């Protein structure tokens, strides 16, 4: 796996001035943060209807292991058919920060921590002492970049990119796949 001594983030994302009220209101930040966490809770609880209400119709999801989806309906249909990637697993959002890009566009960056809590039939796992002794376990960690747009006074997720992921080798033995997941695939460019 390649070295990642430094986490790569979009340019000037950690700049304190992006936290100022004139950049993005506190209310907007709270709504976006709430929605960011709700996406993971929707995925873990399989609340497809609530998830669809958070995404724009032309939502784009890019994941180094799961591919690219270019609509909310495509992503949700894929999600319904891919239980092995989600069963017995919880997704946690950490260190999320958000900045305004324009009046109706914002971006957020966060870490994702993925934990396996339970065995899953969809991965041909069965409860046994060997697996139970490993659980809970960290499956992976990565950086998530999101682009949000405001429509009719509410924020919606428009584009999500997973990158710089470190995946547990016991969970994903394929070294090539783990190396692919660890790459920095996309960083948002500030609009001029």
- For the chain, 192 residues long, the average pLDDT of each consecutive 10-residue run is 75 85 90 98 96 98 94 96 92 96 94 94 85 91 97 97 94 92 72 44
User: What pLDDT does 67 receive?
Assistant: 92
User: What pLDDT does 5 receive?
Assistant: 80
Helix or strand or coil: residue 176?
A: helix
User: What pLDDT does 8 receive?
Assistant: 86
User: What pLDDT does 61 receive?
Assistant: 96
| Phi, psi for 126 (deg, rounded to 5) | -135, 150
CB neighbourhood size of 77 (10 A): 13
What is the per-residue burial (b if ≥16 Cβ within 10 Å, else e) of 16-38?
eebeeeebbeeebbebbbebbeb
Contact 149, 125 (CB under 8 A): no
User: What pLDDT does 188 receive?
Assistant: 63
Domains and CATH numbers, the chain: 25-181 (3.10.450.50)
User: What pLDDT does 138 receive?
Assistant: 96
Q: What is the dihedral of CA 6, 8, 12, 18, to 10 degrees?
A: -100
User: What pLDDT does 192 receive?
Assistant: 40
Helix or strand or coil: residue 189?
A: coil
Q: The pTM is what? A: 0.91
């Amino acid at each position: 796996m390649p070295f990642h001594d430094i986490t790569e983030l979009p340019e000037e994302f950690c700049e304190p001035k992006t936290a100022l009220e004139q950049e993005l209101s506190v209310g907007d930040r709270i709504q976006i943060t709430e929605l960011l966490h709700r996406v993971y809770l929707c995925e873990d609880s399989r609340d497809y209807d609530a998830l669809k209400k958070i995404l724009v119709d032309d939502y784009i999801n890019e994941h180094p292991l799961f591919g690219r989806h270019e609509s909310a309906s495509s992503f949700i249909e894929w999600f319904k058919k891919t239980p092995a990637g989600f069963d017995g697993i919880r997704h946690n959002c950490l260190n999320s920060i958000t900045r305004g890009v324009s009046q109706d566009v914002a971006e957020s960056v966060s870490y994702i921590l993925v934990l396996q809590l339970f065995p899953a039939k969809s991965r041909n796992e069965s409860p046994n002492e060997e697996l139970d002794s490993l659980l809970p376990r960290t499956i992976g960690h990565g950086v998530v970049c999101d682009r949000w747009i405001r429509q009719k006074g509410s924020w919606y997720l428009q584009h999500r990119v997973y990158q710089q992921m470190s995946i547990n080798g016991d969970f994903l033995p394929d070294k090539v796949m783990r190396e692919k997941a660890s790459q920095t695939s996309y960083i948002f460019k500030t609009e001029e």
